[in-house]
Structure 1
Amino acid sequence: MSKNYMILPDASPLFFEGNRIGILVSHGFTGTTQSMKPLGEAYAEKGYTVCVPRLLGHGTHYLDMEASTYRDWVKSIEEGYHWLKERCDIIFVTGLSMGGTLTLYMAETYPDIKGIIPINAAIDIPMMADVAAQSEVRFLDAIGSDIKKPNVKELAYEKTPTKSIQQIVQLMKVVKEDLSKVTCPTLIFVSKEDHVVPPDNSQLIFEHISSKEKELIELKNSYHVATLDNDQQIIIENTLQFINRIIEK
């Protein structure tokens, strides 16, 4: 691994101890916990136990990310899951972008997960696959901060390592192949206009998971980082309703 980089301000993992219902919250590719903090805080305010891990190689320096693999990101989210398992009887998982990919991975791998909420989840980005295939360039431009709301900025890397793109492409492939293993109740959020992940990814997820209870909600007033955008409250409110509905059954 690369040298030890300092964690950026606002990029540290977040932990909120509450009741016996846990919510695991994952940020996305090149992003940080800053993009998910409003959701984590809103769920914690309702009494839930919430964990927002910092994915390895994120929230430090893009050279740190370059040295990490998708298995490291999976391990980071699994560590958050195990932290919740020690404290909770029921666990839900939600995530943005690659965090949504990891959310699906968790549902495929841990059948005890009670429900998932992927937000603009990535499983098939042809442009990324093309970039991964031709890796003459070491770094590409930033992909963060695709936000419609004025004066809101996502804390994300200013460069994207090509090696990291190769890793997310592998992760998407693994998760896409196993979508039928997702059987838990699923609430999918998709931005109508997204300049990072094609919105049809969410439709693909909706069609290929095996969940009997599934719903897709379109976000009409947000771009990719919907958790910091105009539809943030729609995500929070619908997620809380979804969780309440599952728990009360």
Structure 2
Amino acid sequence: MIQQTDFMFEGGRDGVLLIHGLTGTPMEMRLLGKGLNNAGYTVHGMQLAGHCGDAEDLLATGWHDWYASVEKAADAMLEKVDRLFVGGLSMGALLSLKLAADRPQQIAGVGVYGATFRYDGWSIPRLARLSFMLPLLKKVGIGRNRSFMEQPPYGIRDERLRAQISSAMLGGDSAAAGLPGNPWYSLAEMYGLAATVRRQLPQVVAPCLIAHASEDDVASLSNAELVRDNVSGPTELLLLHDSYHMITVDKERRTLIERSAAFFGRVAGAPQRAAA
């Protein structure tokens, strides 16, 4: 059964919509959201359709459903704020970029955190690196009940935090830590989204803060470079050298909070309180 885990932090008239990753949960965006709220922003950490339940809940949805839930959350935020920024982690970064491409008049800036067009990081097993072929397998009906299980270090360099999150994830607490595996068909949907967003990157005119771990274990730096080299708006690249894929919770999360708050503040052209 799906549990509702999204969060809303009330702040000023500049807002940030935060989007978690595939099989993830809003909890992975909560520390970033709290930091941005401390800097004066109204923040909504949304929950993607089909997430925070079991694998069957996720498989009942596809990327069009996930994106529809993003659009619904953006519409709700636009009723509360004068200026809207969007930020996402991993697949959430792709959904953020798509929203910016589709709504250039409504999205003021984008936080592109650990963008994942392909799972090609150093910890991804050789077989899993062939997951870009999954749309074909899904089309012919092969592998609906198969998953790629998460592998250590689970995107987290901080060993203490890694132990906490992996324990919750492997213990079945999907609302707190997400699912322990990526269903093949959901990955196929993600690759469909990635292909769409890749084509739309030139339509992104909003400024983008592109933050990526230099040693990302899930998605190599080429994913960030793809965004930097193809969007039409100005970009700022932030490389994090003491984190893995989950940069919103890992060792340099405070740096990410501070740089995000400052970036959105510069775009807004208004002074913001220092991010706590």
- After TM superposition, the score normalised by the length of structure 1 is 0.92
Alignment counterpart, residue 78 of structure 2, candidates 78, 85, 103: 85
**Match among 96, 99, 105 for residue 106 of structure 1:** 99
Alignment partners' CA distance in 1, 2:131 and 2:29: 23
| Structure 1 residues 120-135: aligned runs within 5 Å | 120-125=114-119, 127-134=130-137
Match 1:174 to one of 188, 196, 200:
196
**2-structure distance, mates of 1:44, 1:234:** 15
Is residue 235 of structure 1 aligned with residue 256 of structure 2? yes
Query: What is the identity, as a one-letter code, of the residue corresponding to 2:220?
Result: P
Deviation at 1:196, TM superposition (A): 1.6
> Which residue of structure 1 lines up, in the alignment, with residue 48 of structure 2?
55
1:220 matches 2:241:
yes
Deviates more, 1:116-125 or 1:22-31: 116-125
Number of corresponding residues: 241
Residue 164, structure 1, aligned to residue 158, structure 2: no
Deviation sequence 1:3-60 (CA, Å, 0-9, x none): xx141xxx61111222111100000011001110001111112221111111011111
SS at match of 1:165: helix
Compared CA separation, residues 194 and 132, structure 1 to 2 (3 A)? farther
1:118-163 deviation per Cα after TM superposition (whole angstroms, max 9, x unaligned): 0111224463313443454322233373101012126120222111
Report 1 or 2 for greater relative contact order, CA contacts < 8 Å, sequence distance ≥ 6.
Answer: 2
Residues of 1 paired with 2:181 and 2:208: CA distance? 33
The one-letter amino acid of 1:105's match is K
Check the 8 A contact 1:52/1:80 in 2, yes or no.
no
Q: Which ranges of structure 2 fall in alignment gaps of 5 or more residues?
A: 120-128, 167-176, 271-276
- 1:206 and 2:199 aligned: no
What is the 5 A alignment of 1:31-46?
31-46=24-39
User: Alpha-carbon deviation of 1:244?
Assistant: 1.3
Cα distance between partner residues in 1 of 2:2 and 2:225? 38
Aligned residue for 1:245, secondary structure, equals: helix
Task: Give yes or no for contact 1:139–1:159 (8 Å, CA) kept in 2.
Answer: no
Tell me the TM-score normalised to structure 2 length: 0.83
Looking at structure 1, the residues matched to 82 and 150 of structure 2 have their Cα atoms a distance apart, in angstroms, of 37
Contact 2:216–2:245 (CA<8 Å) still a contact in 1? yes
Q: 1:185 Cα deviation (Å)? A: 0.9
Aligned residue type for 2:147? L
Q: Secondary structure at the match of 1:189?
A: strand
